[in-house]
Structure 1
């Protein structure tokens, strides 16, 4: 787990760390492993609060309910104010601190588990969009308060199942406040626009995040909508476009396999050859040597 800030804790604030032996049990239980609470709390008027994490090994959410602070992430600086929530996925280096004149009050939670990634897809969070404005924060604040109160339940496993489900509810409530934004940002989505986008980027290695971001959707929503429209997964369809282009080059040029591999985005020609064969049933060399179609 990423180290929590060592801000000196006054009586009006709370910092609670889940015991490590309990975390290990939560990680293997089907009732909690999808979203495991590691630490959570509330800092009120947190003058002097701040931390820099060049390495971030868990997921962190911060909800500002008063005052303000600054966040530095991905080479950008944000001013965080009331009713804004910050998402810092694992692996995201960051630095933040409370304002010196109007220090923020924040709820926060460190957590891990695959459901965090799924919620981020549904909410529409990505590396270009880590700060969101909440339109109705009251219900989310109430759930954070309940989460903090759960620390009095004792160190029994079933008590931490409750905390895990409170985190799920918090993220679910956040997701209800974001779909309108995502839908308004969508690009025209059709078989033609998809094919044109993939052909335009046939020399790139697009990730699912790249594709979803281009069409203005969350990764989860994009993958589902793509499957319904194309009866195929985005990644598999993009690979098929690359293979089609490689076939064209094999048919119409004297370029060697290594050059063709690089042309469709793969530095490793042997990896490309395996992908090609898994699609065509022939290696690139066998395809070029075959008389199929002649």
Structure 2
């Protein structure tokens, strides 16, 4: 394992490669080549070269890379590396852009500190645990571009939580749109593009899902269930229920017996 800072002229070629190699580039760039295919390695990229893959990599002359690197092997290595949430390139290596993450660099620094410790069993166990943590963290992290798209999209989890907390009452489109700082028009358009339905339809679906749960698990009267999910008029509730489920609440309950 190691750390190279502004490694101008750094180059390595291996025709025989009998372990796994991971490189995390935190500055600059380089190039990796294997099986006749080449890819740029840029700041924020994690490169994993599997065992048995002949390869060559070089640091850029114009913008030399700064990298953490570690060689490793073990019974679970293949499974961990295949879980990095990225497909293997045509060259046979894994390359994923995750951006700059202080927590990840901190884990690499902690791993490197093990080089200066006594080489006993506890150090090896700690090192292996740190490596598992790094590989799991890489799998968990999303590419910056994907995160940007998500930020531009809607926080559906928070929005649906808001709906869930208001199942016992009514909530209008103005309130839902205001919760995500959008106009009603843009809110409905963006929500439909993501989910295929409207926010109000989804709110109604959540109400009916709750009603089905109460019909399944309680002896409450239908008018009580209607009130529980925000409908004072039991007949109106039954019409909404039939529209969503295809049968009335009473028919739904009878089908359970």
User: What's the TM-score, normalizing by structure 1?
Assistant: 0.46
Structure 1 partner of 2:134: 170
CA shift in 2, pair 1:127/1:92, >3 Å: farther
- CA displacement at 1:111 relative to structure 2: 0.2
Q: Name the SS for the 1:123 alignment partner.
A: coil
State whether structure 2 residue 2 is matched by structure 1 residue 41. yes
Q: Tell me which residue corresponds to 1:72.
A: 33
Does 2:60 align with 1:96?
no
Separation (CA, whole Å) in 2 of partners of 1:56 and 1:141 = 25
Contact 2:6 2:65 in 1 (8 A): yes
State the distance in 2 between where 1:153 and 1:133 align.
Answer: 32
TM superposition shift of 1:107: 0.1
Q: In 2 relative to 1, CA 147–46 (structure 1 residues): closer, same or farther, beyond 3 Å? A: same
Q: Which runs of 5+ in 1 are unaligned?
A: 1-39, 183-294
> Residue 87 of structure 1 contacts residue 125 of structure 1 at CA under 8 Å; is this kept in 2?
no
Number of matched pairs? 143
In the alignment, does 2:96 pair up with 1:132?
yes
Alignment CA distance shift 1:101-1:180 (3 Å) = closer
Shift of 1:114: 2.1
1:196 corresponding residue in structure 2? none
Whether the 8 Å contact between 1:123 and 1:179 is mirrored in structure 2 is no
Distance 1:42 1:180 in 2: 24
Residues 243-282 of structure 1 correspond to what in structure 2 (within 5 A)?
A: none
Q: Equivalent residue of 1:108, what SS?
A: strand
Aligned partners of 1:123 and 1:178 also within 8 Å: no
Does structure 2 conserve the Cα–Cα contact (< 8 Å) formed by 1:62 and 1:108?
yes
CA drift at 1:152: 2.2
CA RMSD, Structure 1 to Structure 2 (Å):
2.2
Task: Give the SS at the match of 2:83.
Answer: helix
| Structure 2 gap ranges (5+) | 147-257
Q: Could you tell me how far apart the structure 1 residues matched to 2:55 and 2:2 are?
A: 19
* Partner Cα distance (2:52, 2:127) in 1: 24
> In the TM superposition, what is the alpha-carbon distance from 1:46 to its structure 2 partner?
0.6
Instruction: Look at both structures and tell me which one has the larger radius of gyration over its CA atoms.
Output: 2
Note the C-alpha offset of 1:181: 10
Q: CA deviation at 1:168?
A: 0.5
